[in-house]
Amino acid sequence: MSIAIGGFIGQGDPLTLIDYLKTMDVGDLTVYENDAGYRDRGTVELVNQGKVKKIVASHVGTTPDIAKAMNEGRLEVEATPQGTLAEMLRCGGAGLGGFLTPTGIGTIAEEGKQIVELNGRPFILVPAARCDIALVRAHRGDTWGNLIFRGTSRNFNVPAAMCADYVIAEVENLYTMGELDPEAIHTSGIFVDAVVRANVSYCTVRDEPLEAAARSK
């Protein structure tokens, strides 16, 4: 099974959903993610549990356990340029078969890939990535799955939310339909299949202080 996961070394990582995945009896996962998390948190935890067989990522240097898992032969890492990975996911969601990128020409990134010359310039033909599941995290979301991100936590959450057959978003602040400004939506609910509340302790900014929310109940 293939899973796209949003976030960037802890910025906007869907930790609530990753925590839940830790409790599930799954294995043989192929993960498409920029990285494996930050230090000991994130996808690296699923790797340590033996649930992941392969990660397609641009950089796994922020999670020391990944190197250990690779050395012990427990994990395969396919290093992919960051822009190429983002576009693989975007294209996977956009119904495109792949795309042509100049990134990586003359490097090992072109190994095993078709080179296409267009207007006299060589490009690498990169197939799109379509995943079974995507896990993302947003600052605000409504019950239809419209998402608003915050700051640099938008990152891979946007292309990841597009590329999978079943997309689950954890949101720091959950709204009913119609409460979010249509002009401000970053990811349309058309891409999102399920929305859950993020674990409060992983939230950066709550729209309403927790004490106030508790009092109003």
Q: For binding to another protein (CB under 8 A), which residues are involved? A: 8-12, 34-35, 38, 57-62, 67, 70, 77, 79, 81-84, 86-87, 89-90, 101-109, 139, 149-159, 186, 204-205
Burial class of residue 209 in the structure, from the number of CB atoms within 10 Å of its CB (0-12 exposed, 13-18 middle, 19+ buried): exposed
Minimum CB distance to another protein, residue 180 (Å): 17
Minimum CB distance to another protein, residue 216 (Å): 25
Of 42, 55, 23, which Cα lies nearest the Cα of 131? 55
Minimum CB distance to another protein, residue 24 (Å): 26
Task: Indicate the pairing of strand 29-32 with strand 194-197.
Answer: unpaired
CA distance 123 to 26: 37
Q: Whose Cβ is closer to another protein: residue 58's or residue 188's?
A: 58
Minimum CB distance to another protein, residue 31 (Å): 14
Handedness of CA 46, 52, 58, 61 (dihedral sign): positive
Q: Whose Cβ is closer to another protein: residue 194's or residue 205's?
A: 205
Q: Whose Cβ is closer to another protein: residue 158's or residue 180's?
A: 158
Q: Whose Cβ is closer to another protein: residue 113's or residue 150's?
A: 150
CA distance 106 to 65: 31
CA distance 166 to 104: 31
Beta carbons within 10 angstroms of residue 111's beta carbon: 8
Q: Whose Cβ is closer to another protein: residue 85's or residue 174's?
A: 85
Q: Whose Cβ is closer to another protein: residue 147's or residue 217's?
A: 147
Burial class of residue 153 in the structure, from the number of CB atoms within 10 Å of its CB (0-12 exposed, 13-18 middle, 19+ buried): buried
Minimum CB distance to another protein, residue 115 (Å): 13
CA distance 66 to 72: 10
Minimum CB distance to another protein, residue 33 (Å): 11
